[in-house]
Chains A and B, each alone.
Chain A
Amino acid sequence: GENVEQHPSTLSVQEGDSAVIKCTYSDSASNYFPWYKQELGKRPQLIIDIRSNVGEKKDQRIAVTLNKTAKHFSLHITETQPEDSAVYFCAASSGGGTSYGKLTFGQGTILTVHP
C-alpha cells in the first residue's frame, strides 16, 4: 500500500519568513495530493491540493509543488503569520480499484510562527 513520509516533524519560523514542508510517497499510482491544516482541538481543514497532471498550484500565500518522477510534493507558505501556527498534514490518494477514496496521511508537521 501507499506510504507517505513527511518532514520536518516540527518547524519554527519568525513571522514574515517562509516555511516549507516536504512529503514523499511510494505508490506511483497516487494522483491526488491534498494538504490539511489542523489547529488544536479542531477539524483538519483542506488548504490546498494538487493533482498529478499539474506541477504547481498557488493560492495567495500558499503553494504546492509536485515532482511525479521523484515522487515528492511540497507545501510552501510565504509571509508567515502567527495564525499559520498549526499541524499540517500531507496526504496521497490513488483513487480507483480497491484503494478508492483512501487518503494516506503523512505524520504531520507542527508549525510554530513566532511574532
Chain B
Amino acid sequence: DTEVTQTPKHLVMGMTNKKSLKCEQHMGHRAMYWYKQKAKKPPELMFVYSYEKLSINESVPSRFSPECPNSSLLNLHLHALQPEDSALYLCASSQVAPAGGQEQYFGPGTRLTVT
C-alpha cells in the first residue's frame, strides 16, 4: 500500500462544533505531518510526529489538537474554529532519517469549511 488516506473528504462545521480529521498510512513510515493549505498558496506545516511523539508544533492555536494513537494513524481534533480556519488540511508521511529530509507522501486532504 503506497497511499495516505484521509477522512472525511469534506467537512462543514460551525464555530462551536467539535470534529476530528483522520489520516492513515500503511507504508511503515514513522513520521507523519499535518499541513494547512489555503487556495493558491503552498502547504503550511502545522505539526510533525516522529515515532508517535510530537516533534514540531509550528505555533498552531490550541483549537487544533493533534494526536498520534499509533504508527499508522494521525488525528487532528478541531474545536471552536474560526471562519479563517477554512482550508484544505493535508496529512503526509515519510520515513524518519536523522541526517536529512525524506520524501513526504501526501493524502488527498480534507476540505474544511467553518461557518
Contact = CB atoms under 8 A, between A and B. Distances in A.
Interface of A: 31-32, 34, 36, 42-46, 49, 51-52, 87, 89, 91, 93-96, 98-103, 105-108
Given A91-B42, A102-B48, 15 more contacts: A34-B101, A34-B103, A42-B108, A43-B106, A43-B108, A52-B100, A87-B40, A94-B101, A100-B50, A100-B55, A100-B56, A100-B98, A101-B33, A101-B94, A103-B101
Contacts of B102: 32, 101
Nearest to B105: A46
B52 to A, nearest CB: 14
B66 interface: no
Interface residues of B, number: 28
B107 A43 contact: yes
B79 to A, nearest CB: 25
Given A98-B56, A108-B41, A103 B104 contact: yes
Contact of A44 (B43, B99, B101): B43
B25 to A, nearest CB: 13
A102 B106 contact: no
